[in-house]
Structure 1
């Protein structure tokens, strides 16, 4: 007896796809009838709950978690992705199958959206039990951070085991290039979880292939060749720093971005540094070398354009047997992310950066920051380099334009706040704006001075507090100014102000955080425990956001 096709012609598939799907489903039904079984019960058992929880500071872990949730759903799981800040331990026990994806920031710290969850499972004597929970951890990190590499993921992995949860797959620690490791890990985890039910495996294994939608347009894998249109020194003569305003044209790219996002920039190593390394290691610069993508180039060109060589500069020569051994020991040269310093509403078809050129001497050897000196010294006006946008959903202005905004950004941390203020001006936001800016000396290091003073004069900037550390005997920093203005800051916070920090994670961000807690206690009359809860609440409702590095 003929059957009515299961996939109608109105479905959004080509004729070939409809024919394949109809044949596939008919075969499943036929086998089910011959075995006296129906497809529905098996399909139901395949819908295992799966929670993919993420701790994300810059958005990588969040994007990956959401992508894997879609893949898991296509494999028959009842999957969902959720930030750790939205979860309680009871959620894990209820869903039982949990995948954790987390980055690490600062000196081995939890991402901002994972702190409250970590505290909830790390309380001695009152931590919840996770018996019955099956889990695995994918930790994202950067090996350049040494002992703190992937530390947040390692901590979560260890704590879950201590609380009685069962690993289905051992933790995987990823370096900057995490795509392939993430694919291997997710495939292994999905397979391990699927084997819990023979019926579900039989059905899931024969589901139609997952359709992977390729990104179109310009992105990290296909960067836009952006021409450099601006390179302006922001420090005056006499400064010990070299900070540049860098501008790229986006004309013809079709690209757009939001303030708070970051720009990924493809860079090259300094040819002088590469030549010194080749000489020190007695290597032929014209010998053939394999590139990370499988192609070939001269060794010199490969080291300039494709491999990290920072750790080789100034080290004791190592006479290797051949060029291949040398190249295989190196990491791929990564694009660098910079906080965007402009609003596209104020500068159509442009994107701006605020870059501090890094140069220093170690035992007589001159070292250069790879990306900063590439932008400051080696990329000429009119020349192009590949760029892409990195979405930073964790660092956004309030959607309610009437909300007050407090911004703390010393040094190049001013970058996103220049963008914020341009955006607030362009959108006519009625909310008050308060900026804390600091650097070494007012006369030489007041970055974007004229524009900031104009914002004060026009009222776009409601209040400006500056801290120039070396203009007086006692050093003054942005957190010093915060404490001086504690009463007014507390008033702003109580009015619903959003609080933002950008800059150094190791010291400044921690000092600012401590000052914020102190202000809540002293000006707000709260206990230390109440101040902690107040800040946690700010983070929960996205009123305390950080872009730190």
Structure 2
């Protein structure tokens, strides 16, 4: 075997990786280059021994565990690692718990054959499911790629503490948070937990099991040419489509089924869609109904059709209340998702279920997902900085209620933003009251549509950079909640710039400082 080598700078600084990730990749790819190329210096025997202290294929590090990285970048970071580590890299890296695991433990369960469900990573969507299917095929004992496989929980958990053992909650009420004229539709939704013995902490998430929109279900049944009462899985077809299966997006198994029922060029298009290709440029828009409309000559049997669909997954929402402030109750802050594709209106399954289809007084299955590394500091005197635009403010309302209930002496600073101050200032009266009492030390607001130029929370952070640095120097914890792909990235870049400017650090030192905050639990994210 060739001696290990010192890494070359093979990955450019412009590549979308952190310094730690770039260093790891340089080391990995340098190991593929022979010393004879002249660009690599062999390590000494002592250095070899230090590096080879464990299994080099699985050193316990997970440089891909970063929700801001694209799938291909994560897979590159996991190249050469054991199957379970590459499966972990395929996850969305949010540790949201929606799958019932963390990203690492879900990957372990798949690799070890303890769970056969390859489609539980809701944030990762079809891309993650396809990558897991590819990876699972590497191992003889790997889980089968069946989309509807279910597993029996290995332990009996208390009702409401896992997705596999839901409890029941009652919808108490909902009220719209946007004022008239807003371009958004956001709801404050209240639940009664008193009959379920559910408990939660500020920072946790609430899992709900929604039902599909009845009009969409009826259209699909009509496209199948079937009856509402056709027996499927011991129930009626309509009942199964309402509660058991996902109707968006169309899964690969549905395309596979349709390819068997068609011929010629149509069969080829269905097969290519099943393989992740996009022959007609419309793959991203194909939910189940649109797929049936695209292949009208195919009329699958209802039982085969249902088995080709993915199970309807629960949805997680950040809890926007503290149990100390409202015992036996829980609230969510929910954006109702509505959009148009072509001439057809599409609806967010869970958000519109909560906004309009679930009536006050009705019950629904729910569970509490304990937060993974997203909680208030143990010391109530520790100052906190909270950055949560839009519905990202939800857990910070809970944090503030919790701090008020326990009489925490630590300072509290909230950054909140949305489109327009007159229409989209959620919980304005509450936050202004908290500011008046001194609970909310600072309230920094950003409105993206009120001026000639768009202005976001990260812009407000830059304006207050000196004070943010002063709070961090005092030991403040910083929290971010909201969109992972854009907002969270921009906030982190801004934070690095603030540390560099006001902490008198180089760019690399500022990046290392922020990484240190994260490692110490002082920089926490709840992103999606």
TM-score (norm 1): 0.67
Q: Which residue of 1 aligns with 2:288?
A: 312
Q: Which residue of 1 aligns with 2:241?
A: 303
Q: Which residue of 2 aligns with 1:192?
A: none
CA contact (8 A) 1:358 1:369 kept: yes
Q: Which residue of 1 aligns with 2:415?
A: 436
1:445 aligns to what SS in structure 2? coil
Structure-to-structure mapping, 1:115-194, within 5 angstroms: 118=21, 121-124=24-27, 132-133=55-56, 135=58, 152=74, 154-160=75-81, 183=109, 185-186=111-112
- Cα distance, 1:214 vs. partner? 2.2
Q: Which residue of 2 aligns with 1:234?
A: 177
Give the Cα separation in 2 of the matches to 1:411 and 1:383: 27
1:434 aligns to what SS in structure 2? strand
1:490 aligns to what SS in structure 2? helix
Aligned residue among 473, 492, 503 for 2:482: 503
* 1:134–1:256 CA distance, 2 compared to 1 (3 A): same
Aligned residue among 250, 256, 262 for 2:193: 250
* 1:507–1:267 CA distance, 2 compared to 1 (3 A): same
Give the Cα separation in 1 of the matches to 2:491 and 2:337: 24
Q: Which residue of 1 aligns with 2:306?
A: 327
1:314 aligns to what SS in structure 2? helix
Give the Cα separation in 2 of the matches to 1:278 and 1:348: 43
- Cα distance, 1:122 vs. partner? 2.6
1:215 aligns to what SS in structure 2? coil
1:444 aligns to what SS in structure 2? coil
Query: Any unmatched runs of 5+ in structure 1?
Result: 1-108, 161-165, 190-210, 291-295
Q: Which residue of 1 aligns with 2:366?
A: 387
Give the Cα separation in 2 of the matches to 1:528 and 1:506: 22
- Cα distance, 1:300 vs. partner? 1.4
- Cα distance, 1:256 vs. partner? 1.1
Is the counterpart of residue 278 in structure 1 residue 221 in structure 2? Answer: yes
Aligned residue among 129, 134, 156 for 1:214: 156
- Cα distance, 1:132 vs. partner? 4.3
Q: Which residue of 1 aligns with 2:333?
A: 354
2:172 aligns to what SS in structure 1? strand
* 1:257–1:151 CA distance, 2 compared to 1 (3 A): farther
Give the Cα separation in 2 of the matches to 1:271 and 1:212: 34
CA contact (8 A) 2:85 2:107 kept: no
CA contact (8 A) 1:250 1:349 kept: yes
Q: What is the aligned length? A: 399
* 1:158–1:436 CA distance, 2 compared to 1 (3 A): same
Give the Cα separation in 2 of the matches to 1:174 and 1:501: 21
**Deviations along 1:53-112, whole A, 9 cap, x unmatched?**
xxxxxxxxxxxxxxxxxxxxxxxxxxxxxxxxxxxxxxxxxxxxxxxxxxxxxxxx99xx
CA contact (8 A) 1:134 1:168 kept: no
* 1:443–1:276 CA distance, 2 compared to 1 (3 A): same
Give the Cα separation in 2 of the matches to 1:423 and 1:359: 33
1:122 aligns to what SS in structure 2? helix
Aligned residue among 199, 211, 224 for 2:167: 224
Give the Cα separation in 1 of the matches to 2:438 and 2:215: 48
Q: Which residue of 1 aligns with 2:316?
A: 337
* 1:270–1:149 CA distance, 2 compared to 1 (3 A): farther
Give the Cα separation in 2 of the matches to 1:522 and 1:148: 29
CA contact (8 A) 1:224 1:253 kept: yes
Aligned residue among 185, 204, 216 for 1:261: 204
Q: Is 416-425 or 306-315 further displaced after alignment?
A: 306-315
Give the Cα separation in 1 of the matches to 2:502 and 2:58: 44
Give the Cα separation in 2 of the matches to 1:275 and 1:118: 49
Q: Which residue of 2 aligns with 1:462?
A: 441
- Cα distance, 1:321 vs. partner? 3.3
- Cα distance, 1:126 vs. partner? 7.7
CA contact (8 A) 1:405 1:498 kept: yes
CA contact (8 A) 1:357 1:373 kept: yes
- Larger RCO, structure (CA 8 Å, separation 6 or more): 2
- Cα distance, 1:459 vs. partner? 0.5
**Deviations along 1:146-167, whole A, 9 cap, x unmatched?**
x966974x3454143xxxxx76
Is the counterpart of residue 365 in structure 1 residue 344 in structure 2? Answer: yes
CA contact (8 A) 2:202 2:321 kept: yes
**Deviations along 1:165-191, whole A, 9 cap, x unmatched?**
x769985867975889855632699xx
Give the Cα separation in 2 of the matches to 1:547 and 1:169: 23
Give the Cα separation in 2 of the matches to 1:170 and 1:398: 33
Structure-to-structure mapping, 1:397-416, within 5 angstroms: 397-416=376-395
Give the Cα separation in 2 of the matches to 1:308 and 1:339: 22
Q: Which residue of 1 aligns with 2:425?
A: 446
Give the Cα separation in 1 of the matches to 2:403 and 2:374: 15
- Cα distance, 1:136 vs. partner? 11
* 1:481–1:537 CA distance, 2 compared to 1 (3 A): same
* 1:304–1:130 CA distance, 2 compared to 1 (3 A): farther
* 1:426–1:188 CA distance, 2 compared to 1 (3 A): closer
CA contact (8 A) 1:136 1:169 kept: no
* 1:188–1:256 CA distance, 2 compared to 1 (3 A): closer
Query: Any unmatched runs of 5+ in structure 2?
Result: 1-15, 32-50, 93-97, 116-152, 249-286
Give the Cα separation in 2 of the matches to 1:186 and 1:157: 18
* 1:222–1:458 CA distance, 2 compared to 1 (3 A): same
The CA RMSD measured in Å over matched residues stands at 3.2
- Cα distance, 1:120 vs. partner? 5.4
Give the Cα separation in 2 of the matches to 1:243 and 1:385: 20
- Cα distance, 1:329 vs. partner? 1.4
* 1:370–1:454 CA distance, 2 compared to 1 (3 A): same
Q: Which residue of 2 aligns with 1:23?
A: none
- Cα distance, 1:372 vs. partner? 0.2
- Cα distance, 1:218 vs. partner? 3.0
